[in-house]
A and B are shown apart, each in its own frame.
Chain A
């Protein structure tokens, strides 16, 4: 085993219900992988298992050389400082007075250590990522006043100031309009291309899979049903089976999109 992520026979259960079963899955250093599947397929559970937020029932899941299924509390804390995980659910923002810059700086909190103050160098890293992701005009504004897209980019910047070896993004484009979806996909592409950080992104839309994606894992009802390159995995049959609708996968500039096919389309 030499990958950044190596999974063998990983199973997560909630009581008698099996939430996730992945026979084998591997992500090498510097690669970008996308985990695709409909709602409830087990995508978020996979990321939560990799970060120790859910305890697998059986199997092995090695992240950066550490088997997260056996890691203790303290060791898990150390591992989480090397892995930037952006959860799916955005924090409720109504009352929070935190600025965008402060939220980005939260990414340095674990890295700097308990009880230690952020130094000038830490704030320099924070400001650099704010600039790189085009957040400078809103850096002093309240995070909760930002649009959904600005909030996602803030969370990506927060993840990146952690200077992680592995970036895990859970539905970073959920509930965004086309413009912001593209901005967020661009930001992820930039981060991956410039920093070479190993990235795993979870989503359920084909058209947000970045062109630089090295591999895809398809999940359905908690089971891995296909793995491989985009072209291997995103076939009409796989996508139709996954989403329960007749579709035709079209490709443009290395990116895929699913076009619904009517009854007539099937014959054609």
Chain B
């Protein structure tokens, strides 16, 4: 029988990281799913991934990889903020799709170069699939700072974000400073994705963004409620995914995503029943 106290002490930072990571990315997901721009999240997360891989190529490791990841994610976010979908001839998702594959291309190019260096394969795989099990309190502190910034931003600009979630055009027509608020959101999004992708990996973070938000939209009405339910679902899947991984001795990111997919399926079923009933 394992010592529960010892287990909790050992895994407390991992559980905290799982909850923060799930909640933080789910909050981003509410807007990217609600505005039908899920590629935006993928684009920024893969920019972070490309930044981290290039950082690894430059000899950085561990938490130092967060700096190039954050830099690349913010650069991508600002670029996306500057692109006004109304002025583009192509749909915004097309532009984001292009940026996404560009970032993915850079990532795999970097991974190839890392492999050529000999010792980079493990680091690269870690960036792709994450490593929740190895989270420390220091990682948790970074995540907590970003999560607190997200809470602060949404508490301050919640009504502006609600207006933008409805329609950028309608928000602008009502005198909302769409550009400033949206850019602020994108910068925070890039920070959230950059500090969290090391725990769940650059490939899986998309699921953490999309599934809780999509699930919450099935279950509840209202901006605030959807945000709370999505964050709760994300945090629960972060913690639950780790416990599932521990129990089944399987990779934590995969367990997290399977749990999220199951949660989304249950939410869709319950949502259907709620609408009918």
Q: Which of A34-42, A112-120, A233-241 contacts B (4 or more CB under 8 A)?
A: A112-120
Tell me the residues in window 150-194 of chain A with beta carbons closer than 8 Å to chain B beta carbons: 155, 158, 162
CA distance A84 to B175 in the complex (A): 9
In the complex, which of the residues A92, A118, A162 contacts B174, with contact meaning CB atoms closer than 8 Å? A162
B170 touches A91 (CB 8 A): yes
B221 at the interface (CB under 8 A from A): yes
- Chain A residues with Cβ below 8 Å from B174 are 80-81, 84, 106-107, 109-111, 158, 162
A207 at the interface (CB under 8 A from B): no
A98 touches B165 (CB 8 A): yes
A109 touches B176 (CB 8 A): yes
Question: Provided the pairs A106-B174, A109-B163, A109-B176 are in contact, do residues A97 and B226 lie with their beta carbons within 8 angstroms?
Answer: yes
Q: Looking at chain B's contact residues, is the secondary structure mostly helix, strand, loop, or mixed?
A: helix
- Chain B residues with Cβ below 8 Å from A96 are 34, 165-166, 217
A51 at the interface (CB under 8 A from B): yes
CA distance A268 to B64 in the complex (A): 87
B162 touches A98 (CB 8 A): yes
Whose C-beta in chain B lies nearest to the C-beta of A77?
B175
Measured CB to CB, the closest approach of chain B to A158, in angstroms, equals: 8
- Chain A residues with Cβ below 8 Å from B177 are 77, 114
B36 touches A92 (CB 8 A): yes
CA distance A108 to B176 in the complex (A): 10
A97 touches B156 (CB 8 A): no
CA distance A77 to B174 in the complex (A): 8
Whose C-beta in chain A lies nearest to the C-beta of B179?
A73
Q: Binary interface profile of A, 50-83, with partner B (CB < 8 Å = 1, else 0)?
A: 0101000000000000000000000001101100
A87 at the interface (CB under 8 A from B): yes
Question: Provided the pairs A95-B34, A97-B220 are in contact, do residues A109 and B172 lie with their beta carbons within 8 angstroms?
Answer: no
The 3 A-B pairs at the shortest CB distance, nearest first, are namely A110-B175, A81-B175, A91-B167
CA distance A78 to B176 in the complex (A): 9
Count of residues in A whose CB is under 8 Å from the partner chain:
40
B157 at the interface (CB under 8 A from A): yes
Count of residues in B whose CB is under 8 Å from the partner chain:
33
- Chain A residues with Cβ below 8 Å from B217 are 95-97
- Chain A residues with Cβ below 8 Å from B181 are 114
Measured CB to CB, the closest approach of chain A to B93, in angstroms, equals: 12
- Chain A residues with Cβ below 8 Å from B159 are 105-106, 108-109, 112, 117-118
- Chain A residues with Cβ below 8 Å from B165 are 96, 98
Which residue numbers of B lie inside 8 Å of A, CB to CB?
A: 33-34, 36, 156-160, 162-163, 165-167, 169-177, 180-181, 214, 216-217, 220-223, 225-226
CA distance A96 to B158 in the complex (A): 15
* 18 further A-B pairs in the complex, CB-CB below 8 A; given A94-B36, A158-B170: A51-B173, A91-B166, A91-B170, A95-B36, A96-B166, A97-B34, A97-B221, A97-B225, A98-B221, A99-B222, A106-B159, A106-B170, A109-B162, A109-B174, A114-B181, A115-B157, A117-B159, A162-B174
- Chain B residues with Cβ below 8 Å from A103 are 166
Whose C-beta in chain A lies nearest to the C-beta of B220?
A97
CA distance A84 to B220 in the complex (A): 30
CA distance A112 to B181 in the complex (A): 15
A102 at the interface (CB under 8 A from B): yes
- Chain A residues with Cβ below 8 Å from B216 are 97
A254 at the interface (CB under 8 A from B): no
B220 touches A106 (CB 8 A): no
Measured CB to CB, the closest approach of chain B to A62, in angstroms, equals: 19
A141 touches B34 (CB 8 A): no
Question: Provided the pairs A77-B177, A95-B33 are in contact, do residues A89 and B169 lie with their beta carbons within 8 angstroms?
Answer: yes
Measured CB to CB, the closest approach of chain A to B156, in angstroms, equals: 5
- Chain A residues with Cβ below 8 Å from B156 are 115
B167 touches A140 (CB 8 A): no
CA distance A251 to B175 in the complex (A): 39
B176 touches A110 (CB 8 A): yes
- Chain A residues with Cβ below 8 Å from B173 are 51, 53, 80, 84-87
A142 at the interface (CB under 8 A from B): yes
A98 touches B166 (CB 8 A): yes
Of the A-B pairs whose beta carbons lie under 8 Å apart in the complex, a sample of 25, sorted by A's number, is: A53-B172, A77-B175, A80-B175, A81-B175, A84-B174, A86-B173, A87-B173, A91-B166, A94-B36, A95-B36, A96-B34, A96-B165, A97-B221, A97-B222, A98-B165, A105-B159, A106-B159, A106-B174, A108-B159, A109-B159, A109-B160, A114-B157, A117-B158, A158-B174, A162-B174
